[in-house]
């Protein structure tokens, strides 16, 4: 009995153990099956997505920037295909080996190689490293032929900025360059669309209209193997190109302005006196904006930056200059409008022998022997300083200031279109008390009357002033952008003068200055009525003329460049039916009559010849709508 009982006990023990093991197996197997079911069915989408993320890669490309076009639809800032070489460090098995292979294939210099290594250390492992952003076709082909040994390297055809007219549009358009940290942080749209190699506007209209021009990213999806090597492209989502912007500028006139300013420092502006369209606005010297697209070298940058003629400054809107005698039409008009004098008011200009003396100061006329007896028209024709000293004295600076501001001086012309546009300065008694804490002096009124002293203007302001004189004294709003609709919003004709006869008289006086004997720009006249124009010269001092300077009476070429007067000229034409106004400034050019005015002769011929072409183009454009 005892032996049998022991056997039963042993058997029961074995059975329990088998049962426990079997149960354990069932539980474990059930757990495995349950887990597999969970992974394969319940979590199918999740792990399929994770698998796809390892298998499928997404490449975001820089957006295609919108174009700038001139009035006739010519592309003045566009795009071209650029061959680039990209690399994502974390996708490369052996970065050092790969980068050395690229160096040998492209024959990179040691400095170029060091810059690439430096850039690689500055970015995250998953960010795109741009090895080259503008390869020639030969090197691009070499890379493609060696892709089997360049794991993670991506040769791409990208779109980059191009300025076909080079320095002709630099100061209007500005330029684009690689987006930096400040560009990204200061603009949410740039931040959202940023990829390595993104170019953004740095100055000019490129910067102003960044959000309109930038476009949207293209996205490329492709499959890779276990080593991250590309197998096939799965999808390509084309981004939208940025908005194209059309300007009022005529490229042919703009190019001529650039040519006329060659080897000079200065500005030429042209405005349609009725539409306000800016036909040309060139600042010189200029530079090729294409040099900045892929990054300018340090040597090139220093040459531009340290050039004494300051090519980086847009002199048309940022240069503050004394207007000199170009202000005299406004002085005369203000005196007439305020009934201070009439056109027949006469003085006797005796030149240097009998200057105006006031509180120990002497005020000379520019003409040594004097002009004799002159009325307003004759004084305008010969630009007699003595006459305008007396007119300004009787008028007072506050009345002159009011008229000058009405005609566009002392305020930005483009209302925020350019971040670097200057206001200029039209002084008044209140301004001096508020800004300098001292009272206005009569002598300061006298020199303001000939465009010297505190008064400062930009060339585009002088062009606007002249345009409003030419159109009969009506408010004008200069435009650089062409409206996209057939019916442009018409600006109301707001008169700036009380008596139209006064503006007619000023127009005639300016005509005499160019087209009658003894006129200061008589040698630059055009007799043909088709091209005939009326203009006023100006010579702005950059330093005070001493008695010794007057005695030496040096020629311009004998004076140090930085001490020479600025040469100015403003004009409108054709005289009988005015349509365009211009301003010309030549820094340190000397006499306005000898240096600036002759350029107007060539300029008006081109402008007026282009007028019919412009008119016909506009008519045909509206007929096509």
Length of the chain: 625
| φ and ψ of 87, to 5 deg | -155, 135
Q: Residues 377-388: what's their mean pLDDT? A: 96
What pLDDT band is residue 357 in, cutting at 50, 70 and 90? confident
DSSP annotation of 38 reads: I
Residues 6+ apart with CB under 8 A from 276: 467, 476, 477, 478, 479, 491
Kindly tell me the burial class for residue 102, based on how many C-beta atoms sit within 10 Å of its own C-beta (0-12, 13-18, 19 or more). buried
Please say if the pLDDT value at position 9 is more than 80.
no
Distance (Å, rounded) from C-alpha 461 to C-alpha 187?
A: 31
Quote the crossing angle between the two packed helices 429-436 and 397-406, to the nearest 10°. 100
Per DSSP (E only), the strands in 20-122 are: 56-61, 68-69, 75-87
Q: Output helix, strand, coil percentages for the chain, rounded to the nearest 5.
A: 45, 20, 35
Q: Which pLDDT belongs to residue 486?
A: 46
Q: Which pLDDT belongs to residue 1?
A: 47
Assigned token pair, 94 = 């052996």
Q: Which residue has the higher pLDDT, 482 or 114?
A: 482
Distance (Å, rounded) from C-alpha 265 to C-alpha 194?
A: 38
Which of 389, 578, 572 has the alpha carbon at shortest distance from 463? 572
Give residue-wise pLDDT tens across range 572-588. Answer: 999 999 999 999 999 99
Which of 210, 417, 209, 175 has the alpha carbon at shortest distance from 304? 175
Residues 6+ apart with CB under 8 A from 89: 95, 120, 123, 125, 126, 127, 129, 152
- Which of 93-102, 220-229, 348-357, 463-472 has the weakest average pLDDT? 220-229
3-class DSSP state for residue 307?
A: coil
DSSP annotation of 284 reads: E
3-class DSSP state for residue 238?
A: coil
Q: Which pLDDT belongs to residue 511?
A: 97
Please say if the pLDDT value at position 423 is more than 70.
yes
Half-sphere exposure (Cβ direction) of 140: Cα atoms closer than 13 Å: 13
Residues 6+ apart with CB under 8 A from 429: 397, 398, 439, 440
Q: Which residue has the higher pLDDT, 235 or 51?
A: 235
Provide DSSP, 479-546. BSB--SSSSPPPPP--B--S-HHHHHHHHHHHHHHHHSTT-TTGGG---STTT--EEEEEEE-SSPPP
Q: Which residue has the higher pLDDT, 196 or 495?
A: 495
Among all residues, which ones are annotated catalytic? Answer: 325
The H-assigned helical ranges of 126-270 are: 137-145, 170-173, 181-186, 188-193, 204-208, 210-213, 251-260
Mean pLDDT over the full length of the chain: 86
The H-assigned helical ranges of 413-499 are: 429-436, 442-448, 459-470
Give residue-wise pLDDT tens across range 528-543. Answer: 999 999 999 999 887 6
Assigned token pair, 382 = 């010969």
Give residue-wise pLDDT tens across range 488-519. Answer: 545 567 999 999 999 999 999 999 999 999 99
Q: Which pLDDT belongs to residue 180?
A: 86
Q: Report the 10 Å Cβ neighbour count for 164.
A: 14
Predicted model pTM: 0.84
């Amino acid at each position: 009995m005892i032996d049998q009982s022991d056997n039963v006990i042993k058997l029961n023990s074995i059975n329990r153990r088998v049962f426990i093991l079997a149960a354990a197996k069932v539980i474990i197997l059930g757990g495995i099956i349950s887990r597999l079911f969970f992974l394969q069915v319940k979590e199918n989408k999740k792990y399929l997505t994770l698998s796809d993320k390892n298998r499928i890669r997404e490449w975001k490309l820089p957006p295609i920037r919108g174009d700038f076009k001139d009035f006739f639809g010519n592309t003045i800032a566009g795009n071209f295909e650029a061959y680039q070489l990209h690399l994502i460090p974390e996708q490369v098995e052996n970065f050092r080996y790969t980068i050395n292979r690229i160096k040998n294939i492209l024959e990179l210099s040691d400095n170029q190689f060091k810059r690439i290594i430096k850039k690689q250390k500055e970015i995250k492992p998953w960010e795109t490293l741009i090895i080259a952003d503008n390869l020639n076709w030969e090197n691009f082909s070499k890379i493609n032929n060696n892709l089997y040994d360049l794991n993670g390297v991506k040769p791409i055809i990208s779109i980059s900025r191009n300025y076909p007219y080079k320095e002709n549009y630099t100061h209007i358009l500005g330029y684009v360059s690689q987006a930096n940290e400040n560009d990204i942080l200061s603009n949410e749209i740039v931040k959202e669309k940023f990829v390595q190699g993104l170019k953004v506007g740095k100055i000019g209209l490129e910067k102003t209209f960044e959000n309109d021009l930038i476009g949207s990213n293209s996205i490329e999806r492709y499959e890779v193997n276990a080593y991250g090597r590309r197998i096939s492209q799965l999808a390509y989502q084309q981004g939208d190109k940025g908005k194209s912007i059309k300007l009022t500028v005529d490229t042919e006139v703009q190019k001529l302005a650039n040519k006329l300013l060659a080897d000079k420092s200065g500005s030429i502006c042209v405005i349609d006196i009725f539409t306000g369209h800016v036909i040309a606005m060139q600042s010189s010297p200029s530079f090729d904006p294409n040099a900045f697209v892929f990054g300018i070298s340090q040597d090139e940058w220093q040459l531009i930056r340290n050039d004494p003629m300051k090519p980086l400054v847009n002199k048309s809107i940022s240069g503050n200059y004394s207007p000199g005698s170009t202000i005299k039409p406004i002085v005369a008009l203000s005196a007439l409008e305020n009934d201070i004098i009439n056109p027949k008011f006469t003085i006797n200009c005796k030149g240097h022998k009998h200057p105006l003396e006031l509180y120990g100061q002497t005020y000379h006329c520019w003409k040594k022997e004097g002009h004799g007896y002159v009325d307003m028209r004759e004084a305008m024709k010969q630009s007699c300083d003595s006459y305008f000293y007396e007119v300004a004295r009787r008028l007072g600076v506050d009345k002159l200031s009011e008229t000058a501001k009405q005609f566009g001086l002392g305020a930005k012309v483009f209302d925020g279109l350019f971040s670097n546009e200057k206001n200029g300065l039209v002084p008044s008694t209140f301004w001096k008390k508020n800004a300098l804490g001292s009272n206005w002096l009569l002598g300061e009124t006298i020199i303001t009357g000939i465009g010297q002293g505190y008064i400062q203007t930009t060339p585009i302001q002088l062009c606007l002033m002249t345009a409003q004189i030419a159109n009969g004294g009506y408010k004008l709003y200069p435009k650089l952008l062409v409206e996209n609709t057939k019916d442009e919003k018409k600006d109301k004709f707001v008169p700036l003068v009380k008596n139209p006869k006064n503006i007619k008289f000023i127009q005639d006086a300016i005509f005499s200055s160019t087209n009658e004997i003894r006129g200061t720009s008589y040698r630059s006249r055009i007799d043909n009525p088709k091209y005939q124009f009326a203009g006023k010269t100006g010579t702005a001092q950059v330093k005070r003329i001493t008695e010794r300077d007057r005695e030496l009476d040096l020629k311009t070429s004998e004076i140090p460049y930085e001490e020479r007067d600025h040469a100015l000229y403003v004009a409108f034409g054709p005289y009988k039916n005015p349509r365009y106004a211009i301003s010309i400034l030549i820094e340190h050019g000397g006499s306005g009559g000898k240096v600036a005015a002759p350029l107007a002769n060539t300029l008006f011929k081109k402008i007026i010849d282009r007028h019919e072409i412009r008119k016909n183009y506009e008519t045909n454009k509206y007929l096509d709508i």
